[in-house]
Chains A and B, each alone.
Chain A
Amino acid sequence: DVKVTQSSRYLVKRTGEKVFLECVQDMDHENMFWYRQDPGLGLRLIYFSYDVKMKEKGDIPEGYSVSREKKERFSLILESASTNQTSMYLCASSFGGPNQPQHFGDGTRLSIL
């Protein structure tokens, strides 16, 4: 069974802090993704990566950066946290190729005070 593990279920940080969200998958998936999930807006893609050290901007990359130094790990970084980044953050991974589903972690509920 695919396991996507996010380091924290709940996180509270202050405005202006640098925040790291970590995600690890154990299935040797090439692709990894970071989304934020907000009521009424569905899932919006922040960044994704299809190989080590590769990254691509998603639909809402502003205020975020990512790091993928190892295949199994994909980190999301909030450079200077702001209150409008309070959200649920979901990490996902998948194999490349057609019709491959994404597998999701439990999510991190991040509150910026």
Chain B
Amino acid sequence: AQRVTQPEKLLSVFKGAPVELKCNYSYSGSPELFWYVQYSRQRLQLLLRHISRESIKGFTADLNKGETSFHLKKPFAQEEDSAMYYCALRAPYNQGGKLIFGQGTELSVKP
């Protein structure tokens, strides 16, 4: 069965420190993976997707098929990065192509 695991409920770092939010998935085949972010009192929004191989707001995420991971990284955290982060995996299209979300990690960046 497809599954997404975010092992940390809360991650607290100081401003300027590196950040890594962990995401592991289980999926047979080529996964489509996304990171979504929800800032306080704002809607959930797409941060990045693995297919794009882009850096958004200084964040990057590399798909590691060997370790079945898609960790989100940023070299120097900023206070405005404080938010809830969700990793998501797209289910196969014969299952409607729905997104399967992890439990979420709350990132708190302290001054």
Per-residue interface assignment for chain B, residues 27 to 57, with 1 indicating a CB less than 8 Å from any chain A CB and 0 otherwise: 0000010100000000111100101000000
A33 to B9, CA, bound (A): 25
Contact B46 A101 (CB under 8 A): yes
Residue of A nearest to B104 (CB): A42
* A84 contacts the other chain (CB 8 A): no
Those of A72-107 within 8 Å (CB) of chain B? 90, 92, 96, 98-99, 101-107
A101 to B32, CA, bound (A): 10
Contacts of B97 in A (CB 8 A): 31, 50, 96
A58 to B98, CA, bound (A): 9
Residue among A42, A48, A106 with max Cβ neighbours from chain B (10 Å): A42
Contact B98 A106 (CB under 8 A): no
Contact A90 B49 (CB under 8 A): no
Contact A48 B43 (CB under 8 A): no
Contacts of A58 in B (CB 8 A): 98
Contacts of B45 in A (CB 8 A): 103-104
* A28 contacts the other chain (CB 8 A): no
Residue of A nearest to B9 (CB): A40
* B26 contacts the other chain (CB 8 A): no
Contacts of B6 in A (CB 8 A): 42
* A52 contacts the other chain (CB 8 A): no
The 8 Å CB contact of B98, one of A40, A48, A99, A104, is A48
A107 to B102, CA, bound (A): 18
* B99 contacts the other chain (CB 8 A): yes
Q: If the complex has contacts A42-B104, A90-B44, A107-B43, are A99 and B96 also in contact, measured as CB distance less than 8 A? A: no
* B69 contacts the other chain (CB 8 A): no
Contacts of B103 in A (CB 8 A): 40-42
Contacts of A104 in B (CB 8 A): 43-45
A-B CB contact pairs (8 Å), 13 listed: A33-B98, A43-B44, A45-B99, A50-B96, A56-B96, A56-B98, A98-B32, A98-B90, A101-B34, A101-B49, A104-B43, A106-B43, A107-B44
Known: A43-B101, A48-B96, A50-B97. 10 other contacts (CB 8 A): A33-B99, A48-B98, A56-B98, A98-B51, A99-B51, A99-B90, A101-B46, A104-B44, A104-B45, A107-B44
